[in-house]
Amino acid sequence: MDLSPLAVGRAVAEVCEGVAARPHIERLDRGFSWLTLGVDDVIVRVAPRGGPLDPYDPEGEAASLRRVEGVVPAPLVLAVQPNPDNPIGRPFGVHTRMPGKVLRLGNVTEHRPEYTAAAAKALGQLHKLTAPITVAEAYDAELDQTEAVYRRAAPDRHPEFEAALAWLAANRPDCDEPAVWCHGDFRFSNLSWSGPGQLGGILDWERAWPGDPMCDVAFTRRFSGWCSIDDSASYGHPLDQERLEYAARFERVRSFTASMRAIRAWLDGRSHDPRLLTIGRRGEEAMQTELAWAAG
């Protein structure tokens, strides 16, 4: 992988106009997944060789972004390069920059209700976008996908994880409501803000899927701290407490595949970033303690 200004400029110029031959590059990735670059006035999302969200697919993320265009504030797709045979050496997508900046939960001490209301309203708007399957069918498909990822990525068998998968399959809500398009990673750190309660954009759509809206709500309660969705006031949709309890467990199991894939990427030599082992270790430790409900 070559992330030098010359290589990035040449690669982006092959698929998108308006980028300098030697652009100004700024690393913007905050986590351990995609390599996100600010390249002049655009965003370039580069697929790493290995990581917690394998396999990386810029075309899949682009499809999600195109689907929500005009529905919620999100980056626009300018170009996609799915072929690694380019000057960067990896597939990538080119998106517009979103206004505002990403904030940390702990650094926001004022106007918290305004931020929470704006985030809830945006998620509620996204959840008006229905998918052509039912919630039950969406769960079945995603559970099959989660098991496939587990079989491919797990260095060793995990009886706790398999018990949790079996519990989720046996207790899946029999819901014939239309599925909606879910962000899959809706948390405060994936939102940009132009001011207090002024949402600039929703970022990082690689985990988007057609599913149960209660999954996105449950995800905020687990990962978004004080900016979680706790009622219907700003969200605008009813909250089903029984489905929320199931969704919380579903999201917990789904998230553990990231730690497995992180370890697999390191073991396979596709990445030598020791942070992947840290992700894997934390996931393994959490898995031992947090899936006790499957046996109970």
In the chain, where are the structural domains located?
Answer: 5-96, 101-295
The predicted structure's pLDDT at residue 31: 65
Phi/psi for 153 (5° steps) reads: -105, -30
Pairing state between β 92-96 and 42-46: antiparallel
Helix extents (H) in 85-238: 112-126, 135-153, 159-170, 213-223
pLDDT at 289 over 90: no
pLDDT at 253 over 90: yes
Mean pLDDT, residues 25-39 taken together:
87
Mean pLDDT, residues 229-238 taken together:
97
Place of tokens 């002049």: 40
DSSP code for 48: P
| Distance, CA of 182 to CA of 127 (rounded, Å) | 7
CATH class of the domain whose range is 5-96:
alpha beta
Domain 101-295, CATH: 3.90.1200.10
The predicted structure's pLDDT at residue 16: 93
The predicted structure's pLDDT at residue 157: 87
Count the neighbouring beta carbons within 10 Å of the beta carbon of residue 290. Answer: 17
pTM given for the model: 0.94
Token pair, residue 274, equals: 């020791």
Sorted by sequence, the CB contacts under 8 Å of residue 245 that are 6+ apart come out as none
pLDDT at 296 over 80: no
Phi/psi for 266 (5° steps) reads: -70, -45
The predicted structure's pLDDT at residue 29: 81
Average pLDDT of the chain is 95
pLDDT band at residue 292, thresholds of 50, 70 and 90? Answer: confident
* Portion of the chain with pLDDT greater than 90, in percent: 85
Mean pLDDT, residues 70-94 taken together:
98
The predicted structure's pLDDT at residue 7: 97
- Residue pLDDT, tens place only, 163-208: 999 999 999 999 999 999 999 999 999 999 999 999 999 999 999 9
Identical fold for domains 5-96 and 101-295, yes or no, is no
Pairing state between β 92-96 and 209-211: unpaired
